């Protein structure tokens, strides 16, 4: 009843303050934050790691295509380089032949030509033409060998200007105006499409780059224009289609290429973007406009598999037309299916000297230009007009040479010849892709597990921290409440005692007794808080000695009896008659603190049935002290939890009773520090039974403290 009065008094003396503290620090405030924590975890950890995993797994699925694309790009670059080396090599051969030429004396033409052939193994069948393109040597009426006769048979008409030969040239250069025109016509459409979406200001800026481009094309040199046409042609499938169509309509011969590359990345070339250019762009020598040795006519193109059209188209030219454009050169000529090479060189006197190149020597010299042809990744080859490699690398025989991984035509100087690259082990792409995607999978799983696991751990520790912070906050509110309550009561009684008409002696004794009880409660609370803090820091010291637990309990009960009975409690102390006594090695003050805490709880949590029972018994190696009540009891699920710091049972009955949630925590710690324990059990009927157990010692040790272990 008194405590009710005290509560009222608190409310009056400190109006609204405690409510405010509880409102600020109460469980509700923290609840909102922990909910946010879940959302933050999902948004900042879970969603990004799921997205990352999905992206990585998707890219693992496309690994094979990526590997193939990468390999295609690399090998195409190498093939392009090889083609350019071979083209330059052929130019060098022409230069070498030019350097070896000397003007034959009119009276010893044959001897001079024979010497030339002997000195230079590249020279197959030498010839000499007059300024009017009359064949001076080999003379049909002369004493000729088989090779010379065949040579005349195949070349006499062309050399003497009676027939033309097809000259090879890059289609994009031949049709450069049309290529650039088509590209320009397509550009405004593409530009309009990209500008439809962005802002109006961007659209108004559009004419500037167009004008700049127009100006550039009008002032550009012919080789630069040719280069631009070649690039545009290579990058634009639509332009290619139209130009090939146009060339055919104009009667130009568009041949098929010898090889059909197998790389799938080439088919999807248009999606590859930057590598697009690498896929089809010709080599340096190919992009050079028709300078250097001109390629004169020859027979029709050999039969070829129906594949991609060749980049080189032919136009018929007379030898005189070709020779008018330079000093010397090599003309590739098809005679039937056979490709021959005619070297020509205009002498200072206007006559033309030249030779059909020795096929064997020419092929050997070209093969010598090639870089290492065999590597663990690829086999590099130069294919002739029949699609046969110039040299077969060891271990590469028996493959279909017309189906390389990637290939490229060499250039005008070597029509239908291609530089080609073959995968040494075609299954390696798949294997490499498989192992890469396996690694990606493993990494994704590790990443996901560590992100999700780490995130969950961080979250749960954060959650724990927040819960603890909440508990501490409510503890602060509870402690302040608990401190104020006895103080207010004491203040109230002091006021009563000071009144002008003092109360009678009986009342005064009662007030004093109540004040003493409140002071004791205050002391207990402060002790608990101090104890908790020293236990936390590990600084709690015990003065242990052998004591009789029953005796300690009896003292505590007797100390509390008057007060409890004054509050209407029936207090019973039971100690079973036994020859043995409950000796324990303990700090008696600490034991008293445990029992007082338990008695105080029994008092606080009893409602109508006010019965407290303390019993000490010996059970085997243990001594046990029970503190029983018939109060509100503790639900089974809470019987362990209530020993955790700051934990108070969250039901309407407990909530009415003020408390800090520390009493049991401290009591159990003390019990455990003494090698014992404190547990809570239910009781038949109603109420709870708190049991303090401690290891028993023998009574002899009490008499002889020195023998203790």
Question: What's the length of the chain?
Answer: 709
β-pair type (570-575, 611-619): parallel
Strand partners, 628: 613, 689
Please say which residue, 617 or 638, places its beta carbon nearer to ligand ADP.
638
Please state the closest distance from residue 44 (CB atom) to ligand ADP, in A.
37
Q: State whether residue 315 is helix, strand or coil.
A: strand
CA 646 to chain centre: 44
Smallest distance, ligand ADP to C-beta of residue 654, A: 4
Gap between the Cα atoms of 209 and 194, Å rounded? 14
Distance CA 470, CA 224 (A): 77
Q: How far is the CB of 590 from ligand ADP (least distance, A)?
A: 16
Cβ distance to ligand ADP smaller for residue 261 or 663: 663
Count of residues that bind ligand ADP according to CB under 6 A = 20
Token output for 464:
């724990």
d(CA 395, CA 408): 23
d(CA 453, CA 450): 5
CB of residue 5 vs ligand ADP: minimum separation in angstroms? 20
Q: Closer CB to ligand ADP, residue 152 or residue 634? A: 634
Comparing CB distances to ligand ADP, the nearer of 257 and 648 is 648
Question: Quick one: tokens of 124?
Answer: 């197959």
**What is the closest distance, in whole angstroms, from the C-beta atom of residue 544 to ligand ADP in the complex?**
24
Least distance in angstroms from the C-beta of 58 to ligand ADP: 55
The residue among 227 and 593 lying less far from ligand ADP, judged by its C-beta, is 593
Least distance in angstroms from the C-beta of 631 to ligand ADP: 5
Gap between the Cα atoms of 242 and 245, Å rounded: 5
C-beta atoms surrounding 551 within 10 Å: 15
Query: Which residue from 562, 565, 643 is spatially nearest to 597, judged by alpha carbons?
Result: 643
Min. distance of Cβ 514 from ligand ADP in angstroms?
21
Alpha-helical segments (H) within 499-635: 505-536, 549-566, 588-604
C-beta of 212 vs 644, nearer to ligand ADP:
644
Sorted by sequence, the CB contacts under 8 Å of residue 399 that are 6+ apart come out as: 422
Residue 330 lies near ligand ADP (rule: CB under 6 A): no
Q: Of 609-668, which residues contact ligand ADP (CB under 6 A)?
A: 629, 631-634, 642, 648-649, 654, 659-665
Residue number of the CB atom closest to ligand ADP: 659
**Residue 451 burial by Cβ neighbours in a 10 Å radius (0-12, 13-18, 19+):** middle
The span from the CA of 279 to the CA of 272, in Å, is 10
Where do we find the tokens 């609840």? Answer: 31
Contacts to ligand ADP from residues 561-620, by CB under 6 A: 601-602, 605
| DSSP one-letter code for 106 | G
Cα 135 to Cα 157: distance, rounded to the nearest angstrom:
10
Which of 286, 288, 267 lies closest to 276, judged by CA? Answer: 267
The candidate with the shortest Cα–Cα distance to 230, out of 271, 309, 169, 166, is: 169
Closest CB to ligand ADP among 79 and 602? 602
Our CB check for ligand ADP shows the closer of 286 and 601 to be 601
Given the complex with ligand ADP, which of 243 and 649 has the nearer CB atom? 649
Nearer to ligand ADP, 589 or 681 (CB): 681
Cα gap 316→215, rounded to integer Å: 35
Q: Tell me the three state secondary structure of residue 680.
A: strand
Nearer to ligand ADP, 591 or 649 (CB): 649
We find the least distance from the C-beta atom of residue 565 to ligand ADP, in angstroms, to be 18
174 binds ligand ADP (CB under 6 A): no
**The token pair that represents 20 in the structure block:** 């405010």
CB of residue 2 vs ligand ADP: minimum separation in angstroms?
18
- The interface with ligand ADP within residues 669-698 (CB under 6 A) comprises 688
Residues in touch with ligand ADP (CB under 6 A): 601-602, 605, 629, 631-634, 642, 648-649, 654, 659-665, 688
């Amino acid at each position: 009843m008194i405590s009710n009065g005290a509560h009222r008094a608190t409310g009056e003396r400190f109006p609204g303050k405690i409510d405010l503290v509880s409102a600020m620090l109460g469980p509700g405030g923290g609840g909102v934050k922990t909910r946010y924590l879940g959302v933050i975890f999902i948004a900042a950890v879970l969603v990004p790691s799921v997205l990352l995993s999905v992206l990585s797994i998707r890219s693992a699925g496309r690994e094979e295509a990526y590997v193939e694309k990468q390999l295609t790009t690399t090998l195409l670059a190498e093939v392009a380089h090889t083609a350019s080396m071979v083209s330059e090599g052929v130019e060098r051969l022409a230069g070498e032949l030019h350097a070896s030429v000397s003007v034959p004396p009119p009276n010893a033409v044959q001897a001079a030509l024979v010497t030339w052939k002997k000195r230079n193994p590249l020279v197959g069948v030498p010839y000499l033409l007059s300024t009017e393109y009359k064949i001076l040597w080999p003379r049909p009426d002369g004493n000729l060998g088989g090779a010379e006769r065949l040579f005349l048979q195949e070349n006499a008409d062309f050399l003497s200007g009676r027939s033309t030969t097809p000259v090879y040239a890059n289609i994009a250069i031949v049709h450069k105006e049309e290529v650039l025109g088509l590209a320009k016509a397509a550009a405004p459409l593409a530009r309009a499409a990209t500008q439809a979406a962005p802002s109006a200001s961007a659209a108004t800026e559009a004419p500037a780059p167009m004008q700049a481009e127009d100006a550039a094309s009008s002032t550009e040199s012919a080789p630069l224009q040719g280069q631009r046409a070649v690039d545009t042609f290579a990058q634009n499938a639509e332009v290619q289609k139209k130009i090939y169509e146009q060339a055919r309509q104009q009667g130009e011969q568009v041949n098929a290429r010898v090889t059909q590359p197998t790389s799938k990345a080439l088919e999807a070339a248009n999606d590859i973007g930057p590598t697009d250019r690498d896929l089809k762009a010709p080599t340096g020598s190919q992009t050079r406009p028709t300078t250097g040795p001109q390629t004169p006519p020859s027979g029709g193109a050999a039969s070829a598999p129906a594949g991609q059209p060749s980049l080189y188209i032919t136009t018929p030219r007379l030898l005189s037309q070709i020779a008018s454009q330079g000093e010397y050169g090599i003309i590739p000529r098809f005679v039937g299916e056979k490709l021959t090479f005619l070297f020509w060189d205009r002498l200072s006197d206007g006559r033309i000297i030249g030779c059909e190149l020795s096929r064997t020597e020419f092929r050997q010299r070209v093969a010598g230009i090639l870089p290492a042809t065999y590597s663990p990744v690829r086999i590099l080859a130069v294919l002739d007009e029949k699609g046969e490699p110039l040299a077969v690398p060891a271990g590469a025989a028996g493959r279909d040479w017309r189906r390389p991984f990637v290939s490229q035509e060499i250039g005008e100087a070597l029509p239908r010849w291609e530089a080609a690259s073959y995968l040494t082990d075609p299954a390696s792409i798949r294997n490499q892709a498989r192992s890469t995607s396996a690694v990606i999978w493993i990494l994704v799983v590790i990443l996901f597990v560590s992100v999700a696991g780490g995130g969950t751990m961080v979250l749960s520790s954060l959650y724990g921290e927040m819960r603890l912070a909440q508990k501490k906050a409510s503890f602060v509110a509870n402690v302040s409440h608990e401190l104020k309550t006895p103080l207010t009561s004491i203040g109230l009684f002091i006021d009563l005692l000071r009144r002008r008409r003092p109360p009678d002696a009986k009342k005064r004794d009662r007030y004093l007794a109540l004040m003493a009880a409140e002071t004791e409660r205050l002391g207990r609370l402060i002790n608990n808080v101090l104890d908790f803090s020293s236990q936390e820091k590990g600084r709690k010291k015990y003065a242990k000695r052998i004591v009789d637990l029953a005796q300690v309990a009896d003292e505590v009960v007797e100390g509390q009896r008057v007060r409890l009975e004054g509050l209407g409690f029936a207090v019973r102390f039971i100690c079973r008659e036994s020859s043995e006594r409950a000796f324990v090695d303990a700090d008696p003050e600490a034991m008293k603190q445990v029992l007082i805490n338990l008695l105080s709880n029994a008092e606080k949590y009893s409602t109508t049935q006010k019965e407290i029972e303390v019993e000490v018994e010996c059970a085997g190696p243990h001594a046990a002290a029970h503190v029983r009540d018939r109060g509100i009891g503790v639900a089974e699920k809470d019987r362990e939890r209530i020993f955790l710091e700051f934990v108070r049972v969250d039901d309407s009955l407990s909530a009415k009773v003020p408390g800090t949630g520390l009493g049991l925590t401290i009591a159990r710690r003390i019990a455990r520090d003494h090698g014992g324990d404190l547990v809570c059990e239910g009781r038949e009927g109603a109420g709870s039974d708190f049991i303090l157990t401690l290891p028993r010692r023998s009574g002899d040790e009490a008499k002889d403290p020195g023998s203790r272990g």
